[in-house]
Chains A and B, each alone.
Chain A
Amino acid sequence: MGMAATRLTDDLLVEILARVPAKSLARFKCVSKHWLGLTFDRSHRRRLPQTLSGFFYSSAGEECFLESPVHFTSVEGSRRPLVRTSSAFLPSHRRVDLLDCCNGLLLCRWYEVSARADEFRYVVCNPATEKWVVLPDSGQAGEVGAARLGFDQASPHFHVFELVEQEFFSPDFPVYLIGVQVYSSESGRWVHNEKAWDEHIRLANRQSATVFLNGHLHFHTYDGESRQCLAAVDTEGETWTDFRAPGGLDGGHIQQSQGRLHYANFHQDEDARVVRLVVHVLEDYDSKEWILKHSVETSYLSGGTHVLDLNVDFHLIAVHPECNLIFFTAGWDTTFMCYNMDSRRVKVICNLEDGKPPYLPYVPLYTELPSLHT
């Protein structure tokens, strides 16, 4: 049995390993130094399945006109980045703001050295290959509530979404979503579309995570009655859908894990003393029916100490794309932790000290994309 196996060349081994799930490949790194080397090899790794390697985040230190440094923490807490975190490979700039990360690509606001203070361009880059592209101006005159990136393995092209809001009128008047601008790297152009609903919706949180799934960008919204919903728009900006999200306290977080949309938020028990982290999953996307997946008391997550203020004490970061691990920060000192929904084990990873949200999950992309260049 062993003889034919030993005659397999590295290329043939990679042919096999390229077809196993990312979770299996992560285990197989322990097989031998040779197999570990295959996963790092520059020519082989672009064929091998990649998985969550860490999180990009910004510093809570001074910013304004200084460059906001971009930090990276790996999944097990080391600050040793797999890719260069400095934005030095981008064209010279005064400042770079990290906006979104999607399947290995980053979306940033890039401020040229000589530009006016508030003038920026969008840059999409791949830190693993150090390739980037500056996007043309979207020409958007209205208010941009949020800018997000949409990219997946289904296509070598990416899309950038600008969610456009009404102009701010007064604190009493809610700011509704009125349309979207979508950039396609395939056409190199922006398209603008008005929102095609009757009801009013507004963005729930400008910093909250979005999910690009089934060719649609999913994001948190409130409907006309201030109920928590999810809205989705396609890459043409033409097809809009929205559906109810599981109710609960503010601060819901969507994420894609194991191919399905997950929704994590906090619920307060009827006696208003126990707060739980509750996770729902959309098993069947078309049904739009959320199924309860897991529930755990927040006091258990924070090691027995009573959670006083959800906004300060907890920040949900991500669900692992390949397994039932939830990453979050807890406490005023931003302790980075993870919770295993299967084993119900809580683990402290490290302390992020100067970190502040958004924390963007990063899966390296080693393939070359036609739309990026040096």
Chain B
Amino acid sequence: MTAPTMTSRSPTSTQRSSPRSLSTARSTSSTSTAAAAPAEDLKSFDAEFVKVDRATLFDLILAANYLNIKGLLDLTCQTVADMIKDNTPEEIRKIFNIKNDFTPEEEAEVRKENQWAFE
């Protein structure tokens, strides 16, 4: 896979993330012709690969989606899912930079319908 032709289309995310994406792409892309590495080596490679800050992780999701690399998309989305699964709604808003557009009454209503998930 050749990188330089990609960067011209979407400079912000792919330019910053390309070098890391490529090494994963080479090991997980279905078009790779390299010999398959042992499963444990690939698994620990994947685990190390996603040990990055959250901003980079989101960049990787965008890059994987844009470059259509399913293995990378699965890995990065699963990593973010594991990171956020115990968070409160307020913590989620901070991570994703979301404004709470519920009124207090509306939020209380939704919370009441899903009360079991908060206990």
Q: Which residues does A use to contact B, with CB under 8 Å?
A: 1-9, 11-12, 15-21, 23-24, 26-36, 74-76, 320, 322-323, 325, 340, 342-343
Most buried by A among B84, B117, B119: B117
Q: Which residues does B use to contact A, with CB under 8 Å?
A: 13, 53-55, 58-59, 61-62, 65, 73, 77-78, 80-82, 84-89, 92-93, 95-102, 106-107, 110-119
Q: Given the known inter-chain contacts A4-B62, A16-B77, A19-B81, please indicate yes or no for A26 contacting B117, CB distance below 8 A.
A: yes
Q: Given the known inter-chain contacts A29-B114, A343-B119, please indicate yes or no for A7 contacting B81, CB distance below 8 A.
A: no
Q: Given the known inter-chain contacts A19-B81, A20-B81, A26-B114, please indicate yes or no for A31 contacting B58, CB distance below 8 A.
A: no
Nearest CB of chain A from residue B54's CB, rounded to whole Å: 6
**A29, B111: Cα distance in complex, Å:** 8
**A8, B96: Cα distance in complex, Å:** 9
Q: Within 8 Å CB of A12, what residues of B? A: 61-62, 65, 77
**A28, B82: Cα distance in complex, Å:** 14
Nearest CB of chain B from residue A255's CB, rounded to whole Å: 15
Are B61 and A32 within 8 A (Cβ)?
A: no
Closest A residue to B97 using CB positions: A2
**A313, B78: Cα distance in complex, Å:** 46
Q: Within 8 Å CB of A15, what residues of B? A: 61, 73, 77
Are B107 and A30 within 8 A (Cβ)?
A: yes
Closest B residue to A76 using CB positions: B113
Are A23 and B98 within 8 A (Cβ)?
A: no
Closest B residue to A325 using CB positions: B116
Are A24 and B85 within 8 A (Cβ)?
A: yes
Q: Within 8 Å CB of A33, what residues of B? A: 101-102, 106
Q: Within 8 Å CB of B99, what residues of A? A: 32
Q: Given the known inter-chain contacts A4-B62, A8-B62, A76-B112, please indicate yes or no for A30 contacting B78, CB distance below 8 A.
A: no
The 8 closest A-B pairs by CB, nearest first: A2-B97, A4-B58, A26-B117, A19-B81, A26-B114, A30-B89, A24-B85, A5-B96
**A323, B115: Cα distance in complex, Å:** 11
Nearest CB of chain B from residue A228's CB, rounded to whole Å: 29
Q: Within 8 Å CB of A28, what residues of B? A: 89, 92
Q: Given the known inter-chain contacts A17-B81, A19-B78, A27-B89, please indicate yes or no for A2 contacting B111, CB distance below 8 A.
A: no
A-B contact pairs, 8 of them (CB 8 A): A6-B96, A15-B73, A16-B77, A19-B77, A24-B85, A26-B117, A33-B106, A322-B116
Most buried by B among A5, A12, A26, A342: A5
Nearest CB of chain A from residue B111's CB, rounded to whole Å: 5
Q: Within 8 Å CB of A26, what residues of B? A: 114, 116-117
Are B116 and A320 within 8 A (Cβ)?
A: yes
Q: Within 8 Å CB of A75, what residues of B? A: 116
Closest A residue to B78 using CB positions: A19
Q: Within 8 Å CB of B115, what residues of A? A: 76
Q: Which of B59, B77, B84, B110 is within 8 Å of A29, CB to CB?
A: B110
Are A340 and B119 within 8 A (Cβ)?
A: yes
**A7, B97: Cα distance in complex, Å:** 10
Q: Which of A27, A76, A320 is within 8 Å of B118, CB to CB?
A: A27
Closest A residue to B84 using CB positions: A20
